[in-house]
Structure 1
Amino acid sequence: MKTLFAHRGMSSLAPENTLAAFSLTPEHGLSWVECDVDILADGTVVVSHDDTLDRCTDRPGSLYDLTAEDLDDIDAGSWFGDAFIGERIPTFDQFITLMNILKLNVNVEIKSCTSGWENTEKLISGVIEGLKNLNRDADVLVSSFNPLALAEFKRRCPNVAVACLFEPQIPEDWLSTLQACQADTINVANEGLTKDKVQEMKEHGLVVNVYTVNNLMRANQLFNWGVDGVFTDIGHQFPTRYRNG
């Protein structure tokens, strides 16, 4: 069974990484969502890809200057469309509550805090606490571009599956990095990925997921190469053979 991950939720139908985007996932037959998590100044874990507000809200500024109280004054939906005016940046706890209602599986990407390792450790702790409240029937995958953060998470949560994330230029020592993180899954970029590289990864017994695939022909090619899953913004456009409904 091939997996479709709703990348930042159904992010071509609703503003990315919002509860609105995640809520649309099951009605389009996807059972996995991917989200990004970072941390506010008061230690609140939030769902956001960027560490700044500039791209996906109605104001500029850094996440690291905010507290949970500030979230009610930030509009994370109006940039996308009038139907989403007033959509908020979700806290991780709000996200987990929604996942339990929708009965979805989650890939949580731990961002590499640009504000330093101390905040990264706080973020890891917050993710661990949040995941304790997730429905035990849900499948969980925790990923990060930061192998130090991923290894620390795995050390503290040895029973949770982790995935190393790599930029389009996969380093030569990628296998050592996976082994150091005790990862059995690799999340790699679509750009430049070849059949030979996929086969090499599969020969090591790895689960291979590819981001971000918004072309059905390319997705079909990747699946035929043996890729296990793809992250996509357009899951609703995939044939039903890849979806639950």
Structure 2
Amino acid sequence: MKTVFAHRGIPTLAPENTLSAFSLCKPHGIQWIECDVDILADGTVVVSHDDTLDRCTDRSGSLYDIHSGDLALIDAGSWFADAFIGERIPTLDQLIALVNQDELNINVEIKSCRAGWAMTEQLIDNVITALAKLDPGRQLIVSSFNHLALAEFKRRRPQTAVACLFEAGQLGEDWLSAMQKCQADCIHPADRGLTQQMIADFKAAGYQVNVYTVNDLARANQLFNWGVDGVFTDIPHRFPAKYRT
């Protein structure tokens, strides 16, 4: 079974990491979504790739300086299109409610919290609290580039499948040690520079391989033929139906 993950929802049709972007998945027959989570000053876990507001909202500044009450005042959609004026940064709780409602599966990426380890621990704790609200029938992967945080998450919630993310060019000879330390089930490498031999090595070690971010159908097909299990993409709705149902 080959899997297509909707990367931050469908960010080519709606503003990334918003409820609008994720709510488009079910109508398009997409079963898996991927989201990024970080933390606000008051401990609220929000769905956001950046730890600043600058790129995807009408505000500037750090997530670590705002509180949950500020979210109603921040527009996360008007930058994308007029149809999304008033879109909000969602909380993880709100996204989990949507996942349960639409019967989706979810990959939650814990961001490398730049506010320090104390805030990272709070992020992990609060993610775990939110995930307890996920319906039992929903499939879940938790991933991170921060392998220290991922290992700590796995220690606190061992029943959850976890995945080590690796940036392009950073898959050194110690990749297996990182995977083993995190007790990872999956490896999520960047597409750039990925070779058939590397994929064969990952598979030989017993790992599920999901590659990001693949926005070319021919490249996705090549990766699947090399043995990749899944790809993260900004265009999941353009993939053939066999990958989406």
Question: Which SS does the other structure have where 1:71 is aligned?
Answer: helix
Once the two structures are superposed, residues 37-94 of structure 1 have per-residue CA deviations (whole angstroms, 9 ceiling, x without a partner) of: 0000000000000000000001110000000000000000011100100000001111
- The equivalent residue for 1:20 is 20
| Correspondence 1:177 to 2:157 | no
Question: Which SS does the other structure have where 1:175 is aligned?
Answer: helix
Question: Which SS does the other structure have where 2:6 is aligned?
Answer: strand
- Number of residue pairs aligned between Structure 1 and Structure 2: 244
- The equivalent residue for 2:123 is 123
Structure 2 distance, partners of 1:189, 1:63, is 26
- The equivalent residue for 1:49 is 49
Question: Which SS does the other structure have where 2:86 is aligned?
Answer: coil
Structure 1 distance, partners of 2:28, 2:119, is 36
Structure 1 distance, partners of 2:97, 2:172, is 37
- The equivalent residue for 2:89 is 89
Structure 1 distance, partners of 2:145, 2:118, is 17
Question: Which SS does the other structure have where 1:37 is aligned?
Answer: strand
Equivalent pairs: percent with the same residue? Answer: 68
Q: Which amino acid aligns with 2:233?
A: T
**Ranges in structure 1 where 5+ consecutive residues have no aligned partner:** none
| Correspondence 1:240 to 2:241 | yes
| Correspondence 1:112 to 2:112 | yes
Structure 1 distance, partners of 2:244, 2:55, is 30
Question: Which SS does the other structure have where 1:186 is aligned?
Answer: strand
Deviation at 1:226, TM superposition (A): 0.2
- The equivalent residue for 2:76 is 76
Question: Which SS does the other structure have where 1:76 is aligned?
Answer: coil
TM-score, length basis structure 1: 0.99
Structure 2 distance, partners of 1:23, 1:158, is 29
Q: Which amino acid aligns with 1:106?
A: I
- The equivalent residue for 2:218 is 217
Once the two structures are superposed, residues 141-194 of structure 1 have per-residue CA deviations (whole angstroms, 9 ceiling, x without a partner) of: 000000110000000111100000000011220000000000020001000100
- The equivalent residue for 2:191 is 190
- The equivalent residue for 1:62 is 62
Structure 1 segment 28-47 matched on structure 2, within 5 A: 28-47=28-47
Once the two structures are superposed, residues 10-38 of structure 1 have per-residue CA deviations (whole angstroms, 9 ceiling, x without a partner) of: 11110000000000001111100000000
Structure 2 distance, partners of 1:25, 1:176, is 35
Q: Over aligned residue pairs, what C-alpha RMSD do you find? A: 0.5
Structure 2 distance, partners of 1:166, 1:152, is 18
Superposition misfits of 4+ residues, deviation over 2 angstroms: none
Once the two structures are superposed, residues 86-130 of structure 1 have per-residue CA deviations (whole angstroms, 9 ceiling, x without a partner) of: 000001111111111011000000011101000000000011000
Structure 1 distance, partners of 2:153, 2:244, is 31
TM-score, length basis structure 2: 0.99
| Correspondence 1:146 to 2:128 | no
Structure 2 distance, partners of 1:171, 1:18, is 34
Structure 2 distance, partners of 1:139, 1:48, is 21
Deviation at 1:233, TM superposition (A): 0.5
Structure 2 distance, partners of 1:27, 1:204, is 36
**Ranges in structure 2 where 5+ consecutive residues have no aligned partner:** none
Q: Which amino acid aligns with 1:84?
A: F
Once the two structures are superposed, residues 176-224 of structure 1 have per-residue CA deviations (whole angstroms, 9 ceiling, x without a partner) of: 0000000020001000100010011101111000000000000000000
